[in-house]
Amino acid sequence: MNSVVTRFAPSPTGLLHAGNYRTAVFAYLFAKHSEGKFIVRIEDTDAARSKPEYEANIIDALTWLRLPADEQYRQSEHRPRHRELLEKLITDGMAYISKEIPKNPGDREKVIRFKNPGGAITFTDVIRGDITTDIGDLGDFIIARSLDEPVFHFAVAVDDSDEGVTHVIRGADHISNTARQMLIQRALGFPTPLYAHLPLIMDSNHKKLGKRSGAKAITEYRDEGILPEAMLNYLAFLGWNPGDVREYLSREELVQAFDISRVQKGSAIFDEVKLFSVNQHWMRKLSDDDFITMSDLGKLALRSDIVLKVVPLLKERAKTFKEAREMLTGELSCFFNKPELDKNLLLAKEPPERPGIAISALKGLLEPIKALPKGVSAEVVKTIIMPFSDAEEAKGKGGRGAVLWPLRYALSGVERSPDPFTIISILGTDESISRISKAIAILEG
C-alpha cells in the first residue's frame, strides 16, 4: 500500500482563524497516525491578495501548534510546471484559449478554458460517502487567465498530484470544487486522490466561523497565553472525538487515537469558553516553575518568592496566561502591595448589636497569628483561626463573618480576594501582623 500523504494548503490572503487550522490538525493527525507525510503548501497563486506577512503568520502558527511539515512548498514556485501542463492540455485538445468579451474593466480578452466532456462525476468522500456532480452544469470552466496565471483549481489539481497527495483533507466548503479538480487530473492522466471534507465550523451564533463573524486570528490566542497543547486538543475535537470518555489528549495520544472514520458530518461549534477551559486543564498540568516561565510572570518585577507561592492560586483561577498576569496586578495584587484600607469597609460585617467586635477580633488574633511557625500552610492557619470565629458565632449570630471579614479585608484591602488563611500563609506572619495592626490603628483612630 502507498503510504499516506496529506497536505494543508492555506492561501496567505489574511490572518487565519482557529477553524482554518482545524484542517491542518486533522491532516496532520491522519498522516501521523498512518505514519505518513504531512505537506504544507502555501497557495499564493492570487498574487494581488497574497502577502508575505500572512504567509509568515501561517508558518508561525504551525510552528506554535507544533505541526511540522515534512515538506513545504509555495505554489507560485510551480509556475513553470503549471505552464507546461496547461500547454499540454491545449495541445491534447482538452483545453483551449478562449476569446472573451470583457464584461468589467480589467477582464481578460483571452483566458484558458477546460473542454467540459459533460456527464456526471461521482467520488466517494471518506467522511460523506458518494457525492455526484453534474459536470454539464459547470460549462467550459476557466483553468487559467494566461499560461502563467493558472487559477486555483488547476494549480491545486496539479500540485496534489505532483506532491503525491493521497488524501485531500479540507473543509466542506471545497466539496463543490472537487469535480473540477478531478476532471483536470483525469485529463492530465493523474490518479485521483481520496477526498475527505471536514464539517463546517460555526460560531456560537451558528454562523459560519469567519472573519466576518469576528473570528480571531489563531495567533491572537497564542498571544493571550493559550497553550499550543490546549489549542491542538481543542481543535482535534471540532468534529471528531476518540469514541471514549477522554476529553484531554496530548499530541501523542491524539496521533494514536485519530481515526478519520469517526469524523462527523454535521457542523461543529467553535466555543471560546470551552477552549479556555481546555486551556486551564493544560495550564494546571505545568510545574510551577514552567508556569512562571511560560506565562512571563518573571517579567512583572514582583517578588519572585511570593510569585512562586501564588502560582497554585493562579492555576485555580486563571484560564490563560494573560489572565494570570492580570491577576497578579489586579485581584491578587495584595500579595505584592500593602493595602489601602477604608474604615467603613473594615466595619462592613459588624452586626449593629455587637459594636466593637471587629477591633476586638483583630486584636485577639494577633497573638495566635504571631505564634504560627514559618512556612505554615493555609490549612493549619485555618485550624487556628476558625475556632476563634466559631467562638464569636456562638456568642451571637453574625460573629463568624464579623471576625473573618475584617481579617480578610485588613490583609487584602479588596472586597474579593483569596481567603484569609491562604493570604496569611503566603504573606507570612510578620507582614500579616503588620497589616492587621494597621487595620486596628484605623479602627481606633
11 touches ligand GLU (CB under 6 A): yes
Q: Shortest approach of ligand GLU to residue 9 CB, angstroms?
A: 4
How many positions of this chain bind ligand GLU (CB under 6 A)? 7
d(CA 398, CA 351): 6
170 touches ligand GLU (CB under 6 A): yes
- Rounded alpha-carbon distances, angstroms, from residue 52 to 13, 55, 74, 142, 445: 9, 5, 11, 27, 66
Q: Shortest approach of ligand GLU to residue 178 CB, angstroms?
A: 9
**Could you tell me which residues come within 8 angstroms of residue 137 by beta carbon, excluding any fewer than 6 positions away?**
none
Which span (9-17, 31-39, 326-334, 432-440) binds ligand GLU, by CB under 6 A? 9-17
Read off φ and ψ for residue 388, nearest 5 degrees: -65, -45
- State which residue, 145 or 274, has the beta carbon closest to ligand GLU: 145
Which span (3-11, 248-256, 314-322, 342-350) binds ligand GLU, by CB under 6 A? 3-11
Q: What is the DSSP string of 313-359?
A: HHHHH-SSHHHHHHHHHTTTGGGTSPPP--HHHHTTT--TTSTTHHH
174 touches ligand GLU (CB under 6 A): yes
Among 5, 6, 10, 275, binds ligand GLU (CB under 6 A): 10
Which span (7-15, 132-140, 333-341, 365-373) binds ligand GLU, by CB under 6 A? 7-15
Q: Shortest approach of ligand GLU to residue 27 CB, angstroms?
A: 9
- State which residue, 160 or 350, has the beta carbon closest to ligand GLU: 160
Site for ligand GLU in 30-49 (CB under 6 A): 43
Q: Shortest approach of ligand GLU to residue 54 CB, angstroms?
A: 11
- Rounded alpha-carbon distances, angstroms, from residue 105 to 146, 199, 366: 17, 38, 84
9 touches ligand GLU (CB under 6 A): yes
Question: At what angle are helices 420-427 and 399-412 packed, to 10 degrees?
Answer: 40
Site for ligand GLU in 146-165 (CB under 6 A): 156
Strands (E), 54-187: 71-74, 95-99, 110-114, 120-125, 129-134, 142-146, 149-150, 167-171
Which run of H or E residues covers position 211?
none
Which span (8-16, 103-111, 246-254, 368-376) binds ligand GLU, by CB under 6 A? 8-16
- State which residue, 82 or 170, has the beta carbon closest to ligand GLU: 170
Which run of H or E residues covers position 66?
none
Contact residues toward ligand GLU (CB under 6 A) are 9-11, 43, 156, 170, 174
